[in-house]
Amino acid sequence: MGYPFLTRMSVNKERTSMLLGYDDNTCEWCSLDDTGRMGSRKILSEHGTESEQHTQHIQFIGRNQVLVITQDKAGKWLHIYENEERAILVQSRFVKFPFPVMQAAWQEERLLLLFSIRNRSGSVRIGLYDPEKDEARWVTPDLDQPQFVFWSASTREVGVNVGGFGRVYSYSQDILPSSEIPYTEYAYPVMDKQGDLVAVSIPVEHGFQPGWIRQGEGLVHVCSMDSEPFSELIRMQLDAHQQLVLCEGITCGRWQYVQYTLDREKRFELRDYPGILTQAVLSRDRQGLIGKYESIVRPPAPGIYRFSEQTSTSTPFPIGRDERTGNYPGEEPDVIYGRIRYGQDMIPYMDMHPEGAEQVVIYLHGGPHNCLFDSFSPVISGLYQAGVRVIGLNYPGSSGFGTDYRMLIQNDWGGVDAEVIQFMREQMLSSYSNVSLYGVSYGAYLALLVAGKSPALWSNVVACAPFTDLERLYAGGGAKLRSFLQTEIGELLHDPSALRDRSPTAYVSGLSEVNIQFIHGQEDQLCPVEQTERLYRDIMENKRLSGAVGRIELHIEDMAHEAYSERIWAQKAVDFLTYSRVST
């Protein structure tokens, strides 16, 4: 895959250092100046980067102390580095601990690891593990689909959201039965807690407003009554000393930041900028943001935005690439954000339209409750550079456009979302003779379903990591997947006929008439590779019996179901979609 790819980033709470983790298992410890710009960079390599080990977790556990957790077949290795200037490995410890680590922190001079497990019933429980004693304890009871928010080792508190309510669990030195662990419940989802201040997300019409509560008081303070609400409020960061709150979220499909004082004054706002900046924190001088920046042609990299006190706007600084991660290729596509009406709903999309384009590809994200941004996509970049118009469709069910839009496919997978794709093809793109579909995960499922039902409308389909049979997906899924499907399509699960009608496997004949490329990871634990292989075999057999012509490819890659996998198969997909068919 060429240059190392940034997969993890962390900034210490003092804003003096940054950690960068790459897909080749290397890590860098970088110093930061007051503005957030990087200074010295040291590679953390003493713990080794053998092929049988992979980096599972990196984080600061002190101002000048870093934890790197690696995993091999036998268990985990905990590596502690100190001294940013020299990055010295001071400790390595092996533990046979099977669960993924969420966070780590010192508590009374002991390193503790926060983890969670999912029971067969689908419930989740959060616990703490002491590597030195090789002991674990629970800090929450069994919870139904909890959203983890924070862990404060100093105050012995864990914040979660369950069923739209916030809970802050307080554990003590005494180990209690998990059902007896005390907690404080809040009427709104909690987003952060610093001292006696609790940040909350307040549901309003068309989204969420940030607010705060003082512990022990019932009064809820809304940060702003006049600002447009967030469609999705992702994160809030309280600064109790400065009486500020930094809010991060999505509004109408665009990633944005707003900072308020606790008395409702808006200090700055960052929105409608090219690319996206995520996981951002304030720089040490509090005049900028430090985060992970990416755009359609730029892979993720550390990025900073500086505020102008005079204008209350933000100015992007150029994001450079260095010798470790290479130079980004090509020009940045011009992105037009549009909407098309379908019934009572406005369907949002991104339109990247090179001059003179004669071919269109509709790009379908996964999820289904994800959102397509102008973030890194080597497929979109490659297609645009090849002169192909790309429509990035945020179909019904996408996040980032409000709760009502997100809920449109509740108990309707493969229903209105599939209808919108065909509607767009027939109405908005009717003048094109060459229109193809590209989808990942849930988007790949939709691409196959739509193409199988109406093969004459489509030239090519690229389906990456799809599922193809809803009934089998539920029957063979683990506790997490089955719980998710019960929430999403619980009514359909009781109707085998409806499940078949909404599964691509029911449309083998139609799919035999379309050029199809399947790409799937051998280690995919979410969407079974066996479903892709079975559909491929069924199409091949139908082609043999019917004499249907057209290209079909199956690529099984050594990968799992993970973010940014597109970079692995991008060239294959672009080549397939831009291949010129020869008339016979």
Reported as a single tens digit per residue, the pLDDT across 258-315 is: 999 999 999 888 988 888 999 999 999 999 999 999 999 889 999 999 886 444 444 4
Q: By three-state DSSP, how is residue 499 classified?
A: helix
Measure the CA–CA gap between 109 and 65, rounded to whole angstroms: 13
User: In which residue are the tokens 């200090």 written?
Assistant: 267
Measure the CA–CA gap between 540 and 516, rounded to whole angstroms: 11
Reported as a single tens digit per residue, the pLDDT across 84-114 is: 678 899 999 999 988 889 999 999 889 999 9
* pLDDT band of 330, cuts 50, 70, 90: low
* pLDDT band of 326, cuts 50, 70, 90: very low
Mean pLDDT in the chain? 89
156-180 burial, b if ≥16 CB within 10 A, otherwise e? Answer: ebbbbbbeeebbbbebeeeeeebee
- H-assigned helices in 407-528: 416-427, 442-453, 470-475, 479-489, 496-501, 508-511
Give the pLDDT confidence score for residue 580 in this predicted structure.
66
| Percentage above 90 pLDDT, the chain | 67
Measure the CA–CA gap between 160 and 142, rounded to whole angstroms: 12
pTM score: 0.89
Among candidate residues 459, 446, 439, the one with its CA nearest the CA of residue 520? 439
Q: What is the CA radius of gyration of the chain?
A: 25
Among candidate residues 176, 166, 181, 255, the one with its CA nearest the CA of residue 215? 166
4-8, 12-16, 145-149, 362-366: which range is least confident on average? 4-8
For residue 49 the two structure tokens come to: 């980067």
Measure the CA–CA gap between 302 and 37, rounded to whole angstroms: 9
Mean pLDDT of 482-506: 92
Reported as a single tens digit per residue, the pLDDT across 114-162 is: 999 988 887 899 999 999 999 999 999 999 889 999 999 999 999 999 9
Reported as a single tens digit per residue, the pLDDT across 334-360 is: 899 999 999 999 999 999 999 999 999
Reported as a single tens digit per residue, the pLDDT across 159-193 is: 999 999 999 999 987 777 777 889 999 999 999 99
Residue 15 reports pLDDT greater than 90: yes
Give the pLDDT confidence score for residue 231 in this predicted structure.
93
- H-assigned helices in 178-271: none
Give the pLDDT confidence score for residue 51 in this predicted structure.
59
6-27 burial, b if ≥16 CB within 10 A, otherwise e? Answer: bbbbbbbeebbbbbbbbbebeb
| Percentage above 70 pLDDT, the chain | 93
Count of residues for the chain? 584
Among candidate residues 519, 518, 381, 534, the one with its CA nearest the CA of residue 451? 518
User: In which residue are the tokens 């079975």 written?
Assistant: 534
Reported as a single tens digit per residue, the pLDDT across 541-571 is: 999 999 988 899 999 988 888 888 899 899 9
Q: What is the dihedral of CA 273, 276, 280, 283, to 10 degrees?
A: -40
Quick check: bond before 368 cis, omega within 30? yes
Mean pLDDT of 521-547: 92
Give the pLDDT confidence score for residue 437 in this predicted structure.
98
Reported as a single tens digit per residue, the pLDDT across 430-446 is: 999 999 999 999 999 99
Give the pLDDT confidence score for residue 306 in this predicted structure.
87
Angle, vertex CA 209, rays to CA 206 and CA 214, nearest 5: 150
